[in-house]
Amino acid sequence: MAAVQILPSILSADFRCLGQQIAEVEQAGADRIHVDVMDGRFVPNITIGPLVVEAARKSTSLPLDVHLMIVEPERYLADFASAGADIILVHQEACPHLHRTVEQIKQLDKQAGVVLNPSTPITSLEEVIDLLDQVLIMSVNPGFGGQRFIGSSTQKVRRLQRLLQERGAQAAIEIDGGIDPTTAPAVVAAGASLLVAGSAVFGAPGGPGEGVRRLRASLSQEP
Ligand code: DX5
Ligand code: ZN
């Protein structure tokens, strides 16, 4: 099994001191930084764009995992690539020409991921799965931090793991939404190796560093 990586989502960070917050999670052992881009159309909320990705890029050498919750993401891939994204993730539901969009990400020399909303079946990825570096299972409906984990997502991760094994595909399984020390062990046991966490990290009582350490510690417990 691949080593589990922790990806703090800066959506829940204090943007008055973003650089410092990123430094804190990096010191505590975070593996990548997850950046949530929302356009107010694909999801109801509006967040950040390439400018903030650029600022995050200057704050850390960790890989930046950029989750595009926007319509027509193909129009902005080059902007996010030059802002410093290392992995670019697009939603299956936002891409009628998903194969082409994935190829475009690869042509920019970036890793490509596809995200599935809770209601989107994993079978919708069968024709592109061999091309992907990551598949991100949303375990909440995207748009906001701090929502409750949808329990059936654990089964979905397990089914995705099976599909990847059957196909001999290499994509890593990422999960996003409601991940905390209570939900993390079961999704890892099901096959997830990339854990996104917003409120569990940046809302942790002892601060973001403590949030990362508590999440890491939970992984050595039985689900
Ligand atoms: C939700 C975003 C998540 C969000 C997760 O649409 O994609 O990355 O930051 O937040 P938590 O971990 O609080 O559910
Ligand atoms: Zn996200």
pLDDT tens for 36-94 read 999 999 999 999 999 999 999 999 999 999 999 999 999 999 999 999 999 999 999 99
Residue among 21, 25, 33, 36 to mutate when testing ligand 1 (max atoms within 8 A of CB): 36
What pLDDT is recorded for position 8?
98
Which ligand number lies closest to the CA of residue 43? Answer: 1
Residues 127-143 have a mean pLDDT of: 98
Q: Which residues does 33 contact at the CB level (< 8 Å), separation at least 6?
A: 7, 8, 10, 22, 25, 56, 60, 62, 63, 64, 65
Spell out which residues have Cβ within 5 A of ligand 2, the ion: 36, 67, 176
State the Cα angle at 138 between 134 and 140, rounded to 5°. 165
Relative to the alpha carbon of 8, which ligand is closest? 1
Q: What are phi and psi of 202, to 5 degrees?
A: -80, -15
Phi, psi (5° rounding) for residue 66? Answer: -105, 115
- Res 222: pLDDT: 76
Please tell me the distance from the alpha carbon of residue 38 to that of residue 41, in angstroms, as a whole number. 8
Q: Which residues sit with their C-beta closer than 6 Å to ligand 1?
A: 9, 11-12, 34, 36, 67, 140, 142-143, 145-147, 176-179, 196-200
Q: Is the pTM of this model over 0.95?
A: yes
What's the confidence (pLDDT) of residue 221? 80
pLDDT over 70 at 138, yes or no: yes
